[in-house]
Structure 1
Amino acid sequence: MKKSIFTFFVLGLTIISCNKKETETTTETTISADSTEIIANDTLTNVHNGHNAQNSLDWNGTYEATLPCADCSGIKTTITLDKSGTFKYAAEYLDKNLKVNDAGDIMWHDNGSVAHLKGKDIDIKLKVVENGLVGLDTEGKEIDGPLKEHYNYKKLN
């Protein structure tokens, strides 16, 4: 009999505790415009700390690479990036009598880590790394495959 009473007692407490309504507490907080700005800046700081290739690396200078070519022995490419935000591009198709020269303004993408060079004849994206550039495909991704290393530009100066 004691076991039955105890069992019903525990069962009753269980049912009562399951039906217990939770009360919500609402707290109103007033934040001034200055505080909001600080919070916004803190949030951005956690996502992006402001350091990128554009403002942290010594990216200006001349770079060179010999790119793969389907119908020649390679494309000797020279790119000069200037601190003023401009570029010069020169490409010579080896074993052919073909040269391409172009110039224009540097556009920065991906928070300053990708230099986009778009001129009259060229439209290329390059990831800026320490003492070099890495050629990217049309979608802005690093080129993958057995010829990947040929798309690495070495800094000359």
Structure 2
Amino acid sequence: MKKLFLLGGLAIVLLAACTSNTRKETSSTQDTTAIATDTVHTSQNSLDWSGTYKGILPCADCPGIETTVVLNANDTFSYMAKYQDRDFKTEDKGKIMWHDNGSVVHLKGQETDLKYKVGENQLIQLDTEGKEITGALSKYYILAKQ
């Protein structure tokens, strides 16, 4: 009788463990599917994108370009770029245009025509075609939110 009771208890424990693992696998699969098909959330409506972003961008004939971009919640921006070791600075203001379903900001001013991919606390500068810059210097085209 004692052995029958132990075997019954062991069977219940094993059955519970199998059921628990099955539930975890199912919910994990469902979570992944939900993330993959999420078309409602974008950088524009999900991230705290407004603020000041700074970084030093690569320069062909100087140590770097100190760059500051301020994105305002009213869809305006200000831009400042100062070339290190030079007495040259450019400033501009304008409107923000959102592209790629709210993941890219296009800064269009009188002298500025730049696109940035908006990420969590960062702006990633894109090339003139709107593609991410690749290569050895790609990590230097990221502006960090201050």
Q: Which category of TM-score, normalised to the shorter sequence, fits these structures? A: 0.7 to 0.9
Counterpart check, 1:76 vs 2:73: no
CA distance in 1, matches of 2:96, 2:37: 25
After superposition, the CA RMSD in angstroms is 1.3
- By how many angstroms is 1:142 displaced? 0.4
- By how many angstroms is 1:49 displaced? 2.3
- By how many angstroms is 1:48 displaced? 6.2
CA distance in 1, matches of 2:113, 2:39: 29
Query: How big is each residue's C-alpha offset from its partner over 1:106-147, in whole Å with a ceiling of 9 and x where there is no partner?
Result: 000000000000111111000000010101001111000000
Question: Which aligned segments of 4 or more residues in structure 1 are displaced greater than 2 angstroms?
Answer: 46-49
Q: Tell me what 2:92 maps to.
A: 102
Instruction: Supply the AA of the counterpart residue of 2:121.
Output: N
Q: Tell me what 1:135 maps to.
A: 125
Q: Which residues of structure 2 form unaligned runs of 5+?
A: 1-35
CA distance in 2, matches of 1:68, 1:77: 10
Identity of aligned residues (%): 56
CA distance in 2, matches of 1:133, 1:49: 21
CA distance in 2, matches of 1:48, 1:102: 35
Larger Cα-atom Rg:
1
Instruction: Supply the AA of the counterpart residue of 1:80.
Output: V
TM-score w.r.t. the length of structure 2 is 0.74
